[in-house]
Amino acid sequence: MAFQKPPDGGWGWVIVVVSFFTQFLCYGSPLAVGVLYLEWLDAFGEGKGKTAWVGSLANGIGLLASPVCSICVSSFGARPVAIFSGFMVAGGLMMSSFAPNIYFLYVSYGIVVGLGCGLLYTATVTITCQYFDKRRGLALGLISTGSSVGLFIYAALQRELIELYGLDGCLLIVGALSLNILACGSLMRPLESSSSPPPEKMFVDKLPDQYFVYHEKEKTVEENISILEKGYIDEKCVNNVPDCKQDSILNKNALSSMNINEKDTYKKKVVEQTNFCKQLAKRKWQLYLTYWKETMVLFKNKVFSALFVAILLFDIGGFPPSLLMEDVARSANISEDDYYMPLISIIGIMTTVGKLILGILADFKWVNTLYLYVTTLLMTGVALFAIPFAKSYLTLAMLSGILGFLTGNWSIFPYVTTKTVGIEKLTHAYGILMFFAGLGNSLGPPIVGWFYDWTQEYNTAFYFSGFCVLLGGFLLLLAALPCWNACTNQSSKLPPNTYSYKVASNA
């Protein structure tokens, strides 16, 4: 399907608005799941590590399934996927209100809601990229703040709804709010060329003529033969009755011979189609082999390998505070009267600020985005080490703000990946990195929860988290030192692409 030139405006701004609200509505509850986490601990009485799996799955499954999400959007379009995913998110949230145990929540909230969010993120990013070219960075930056604003508002909203209607009522209302995604998705009008032929016609035009020759003959040959045979026999029977039977027998014999020829033609076409399928499967297999070979070439780049380790360790250690900070405050015996704002809300609003400021800094030519990203990792590790020493709401609020701001380094991660592997390999490399980011998101909170179940305090858990992030930052710093530049430049000269696909991100 041929697309028009991106208008960089017009209906594109409607796409930006509905994409912003789509991410706001779908990511609000999963990112602010720390409020629900406390209620699930009290409701089901399970360990912190086991309960933390619910929120970690909801936030990590979308990244883990990003290749599948991309295939769905590429195959069906952004609007159908957005509408279908809206039902998934709303249905998963409403089903979670009837959860009889924590295992039911793994499926309803963790997998169903998480996969719906991943599909919606891919749909919003894809449709926005179709409508914007020169202003694509601005448009993507605007829609990405929807999730952060959702975290800020949903943290307070879910707490208020729990006080008024209980946990079950809160999930039902939040699920009902998510149905507004359907209205947003219906406005995601695809950008198609008005002169482009219908998909059915394009598909037929691309088929070789040899694959439907027999189909046409099959419909017409027997009809024509029967008509000619009938007319000839009728004429002979009128003029010469004795010859009628003889001609009928001869025509039947001719018809039988023609049917045999048609059967031979049909067999020949089947053989040709079988050979075509074999050649297609062989080419696909060769494509996959090339993909994995180029993946191995990517990992020969020392900076890329260090970046892969850093993003995995960063998400293992840096993601848990957004899920567990409320429980950290409760474990520190901080009175609810001291709460001026939920700590998760502070993380959300400062993440928005961090995305904007770090994104602006990355645009300056004198700023090395790789070193900027390393700096955010090292500062995040130090902030995590400081959490065990925070015993008041004010201190925890300050650390939450710092961690939220530094988490905004997601906005510069595409810049770092591009600097590492080059623009021609960005899609391939970014997809691999996002998969392992999702793996870190899924593993981080349960690991911290298991540390608490083992030691009955969060100190050891956050020391472990801080160590993971610092280790990833130092490894990336060592790999990015100038002494590795020659090796990096040599390994970044990769063979040209022989494949094409899209990958969702969560930047």
Do 63 and 441 meet the contact criterion of CB atoms below 8 Å apart?
yes
| pLDDT cut 70: percent of the chain above it | 71
Helix (H) or strand (E) holding 458, with range, is none
For residue 247, pLDDT over 60 is answered with no
* 460 occurs within a structural domain: yes
Residues 121 and 14 in one domain: yes
Residues 468 and 320 in one domain: yes
Residues 30 and 172 in one domain: yes
pLDDT at 184: 92
pLDDT at 256: 56
Amino acid residing at 188: M
Could you please report the per-residue DSSP string of 152-191?
HHHHHHHHHHHHHHHHHHHHHHHHHHHTHHHHHHHT----
Q: pLDDT per residue over 321-339, tens digit each?
A: 877 788 888 887 777 666 6
Task: Work out the number of other CB atoms within 10 angstroms of the CB of residue 231.
Answer: 10
**What average pLDDT score do residues 167-195 get?**
87
Q: In sequence order, which residues have a C-beta less than 8 Å from that of residue 132 and are 6 or more positions away? A: 6, 8, 12, 138, 139, 140
Q: pLDDT per residue over 252-311, tens digit each?
A: 555 455 555 665 665 666 666 676 676 766 666 666 666 667 777 777 878 888 888 898
* 355 occurs within a structural domain: yes
Residues 372 and 476 in one domain: yes
Residues 292 and 430 in one domain: yes
| pLDDT cut 90: percent of the chain above it | 22
Residue 341 DSSP one-character state? S
CA separation for the pair 340, 347 (Å, rounded)? 14
Domain count, the chain: 2
The CATH number covering residue 91 comes to 1.20.1250.20
What is the pTM for the complete model shown? 0.65
Residues 298 and 186 in one domain: no
Residues 182 and 285 in one domain: no
* 117 occurs within a structural domain: yes
pLDDT at 322: 76
Give the pLDDT band of residue 177 (cuts 50, 70, 90). Answer: very high
Looking at 156, 173, 191, the residue that finishes a domain is: 191
Do 94 and 143 meet the contact criterion of CB atoms below 8 Å apart?
no
Q: pLDDT per residue over 465-498, tens digit each?
A: 899 999 999 998 888 877 655 544 444 444 444 3
Distance, CA of 325 to chain centre: 26
Instruction: Say whether 1 sits in a helix, a strand or coil.
Output: coil
Instruction: Say whether 301 sits in a helix, a strand or coil.
Output: coil
> Which residue has 């409020």 as its token pair?
35
* Least confident window among 238-242, 448-452, 498-502: 498-502
The residue range of the domain holding 89 is: 1-191
Looking at 169, 191, 213, the residue that finishes a domain is: 191
Which comes out higher in pLDDT, residue 116 or 344?
Answer: 116
For residue 90, pLDDT over 90 is answered with yes
For residue 59, pLDDT over 90 is answered with no
Looking at 191, 206, 235, the residue that finishes a domain is: 191
For residue 106, pLDDT over 90 is answered with yes
* 348 occurs within a structural domain: yes
Q: pLDDT per residue over 403-430, tens digit each?
A: 989 988 877 777 787 777 776 676 667 6
> Which CA distances in Å does 298 have to 65, 368, 369?
21, 21, 20
